[in-house]
Amino acid sequence: MALETLPIIILLTAAVFMLAWVLASWLAGARDPARRRLAAMVGPPPAMMPTAAPSWMGWLSPLGRWLLPGSKVERARIERLLFLAGFRGPNALSIFFGSKTVLSLLLPTAWLLISPASSMLTDGQRWLLAGLAVLVGMLAPNRWLELRVERRQKRLRDGFPESLDMLVICVEAGLGLTSAIARVAEELKFSQPELASELAIVNAEMRAGVDREVALDNLNARTGLSEIRGLVSLLQQTLRFGTGIADSLRVYAAEFRDQRMQAAEERAGKIGTKLIFPLIFCEFPAFFVIAIGPAVMRIMEAFQR
């Protein structure tokens, strides 16, 4: 019996140790007068700027630093996903791996505490499910990060046509590129806050003295969208060769509108093929039951007589 409960005792000890360390780290940060004074001086971050991570997750950073992957390729991939998801703080990577460690410990511990209440599972099945809980704790954050990147890029892609049309209007009205980007960011602040935030960062970098081509490259790196990549390439060529920005933007807006129309027509053309499976497996069986069912029942009654 003692050998059977030994793994549970080890997991509980690790969970208690982790909880004690979390509380100690949080209390040390909360009582540090230097940190409180700096927080009071800096104040809350602007709503337009993307945050690295919630402040209450800062205690995960020391834990994650010990668990960073040794592979530079994997580390670069996770850093890229975090960057595209909007987590751009210096501790984003360590906080992410710290959260994976905490989940991989808490999920199996919670399962092993709850599972004895069920008498339908054997000890081997409980330990198998505990191993699956560890696997879920290690893989679920990766999938969550990928979904967050996809959702964020979808929101940026949905707001890009509106921003492009507004940028064309502002440039044709006589505004310069920096002023036009600032105006579009101001107008999109409520309808498309994430895209407005990215444009505001570009405007801030240009006003701070960063070269305009470098600021546009940074925009491309932060979004990772092919639509914005095309716009950035167009603006860079326009700035490099001195051609008219308004004419170039008007041509790109027309081409982008044609691409959107072609994409919509392509999706519409696929609807017929996608409807085959719902029709065959969902609607046709019900139709046959309603249409042929009474006749089949009468035939069966006739043969029974």
The closest alpha carbon to 127, from 111, 104, 103, 107, belongs to 111
Q: Which residue has the higher pLDDT, 305 or 177?
A: 177
The closest alpha carbon to 106, from 214, 14, 243, belongs to 14
What pLDDT shows up at residue 70?
67
Residue 39 has pLDDT above 60, yes or no: no
Confidence of residue 276 (pLDDT cuts 50, 70, 90): confident
What pLDDT shows up at residue 147?
92
Rounded Cα–Cα distance for residues 189 and 167 (Å)? 14
Residue 58 has pLDDT above 70, yes or no: no
Residue 8 has pLDDT above 80, yes or no: no
Q: At 179, which amino acid appears?
A: S
Q: Where are the domains of the chain?
A: 2-153, 156-269, 274-304
Cα of 114 vs its chain's centroid, Å = 32
- 30-39, 104-113, 225-234, 257-266 — which is least confidently predicted? 30-39
What pLDDT shows up at residue 149?
92
Q: What is the mean predicted confidence (pLDDT) over 98-117?
A: 81
Residue 74 has pLDDT above 70, yes or no: yes
Residue 85 has pLDDT above 60, yes or no: yes
Average pLDDT, the chain: 78
Q: What is the pTM of this model?
A: 0.66
What pLDDT shows up at residue 88?
80
**3-state secondary structure string, the chain?**
CHHHHHHHHHHHHHHHHHHHHHHHHHHHHHHCHHHHHHHHHHCCCCCCCCCCCCHHHCCHHHHHHCCCCCCHHHHHHHHHHHHHHCCCCCCHHHHHHHHHHHHHHHHHHHHHHHHHHCCCCCHHHHHHHHHHHHHHHHHHHHHHHHHHHHHHHHHHHHHHHHHHHHHHHHHHCCCCHHHHHHHHHHHCCCCCHHHHHHHHHHHHHHHCCCCHHHHHHHHHHHHCCHHHHHHHHHHHHHHHHCCCHHHHHHHHHHHHHHHHHHHHHHHHHCHHHHCHHHHHHHHHHHHHHHHHHHHHHHHHHHHHC
Q: Which residue has the higher pLDDT, 258 or 24?
A: 258
Q: Which residue has the higher pLDDT, 117 or 31?
A: 117
Q: Which residue has the higher pLDDT, 276 or 7?
A: 276
Handedness of CA 281, 282, 283, 285 (dihedral sign): positive
Any residues with CB less than 8 A from the CB of 178 and at least 6 apart, and which? Answer: 203, 206, 207, 212
Confidence of residue 57 (pLDDT cuts 50, 70, 90): low
C-alpha distances in Å from residue 190, one per residue of 39, 48, 185, 230: 27, 10, 10, 25
The pLDDT tens digits of the residues spanning 18-28 come to 666 656 655 55
Residue 43 has pLDDT above 80, yes or no: no
Q: What is the mean predicted confidence (pLDDT) over 129-142?
A: 85
Q: What is the mean predicted confidence (pLDDT) over 176-192?
A: 88
Any residues with CB less than 8 A from the CB of 305 and at least 6 apart, and which? Answer: none
The closest alpha carbon to 150, from 142, 89, 139, belongs to 142
What pLDDT shows up at residue 52?
45
C-alpha distances in Å from residue 273, one per residue of 258, 279, 285: 24, 10, 19
- 49-53, 185-189, 228-232, 258-262 — which is least confidently predicted? 49-53
Residue 235 has pLDDT above 70, yes or no: yes
What pLDDT shows up at residue 26?
56
Rounded Cα–Cα distance for residues 140 and 245 (Å)? 45
What pLDDT shows up at residue 254?
83
Residue labelled with tokens 């905490």: 102
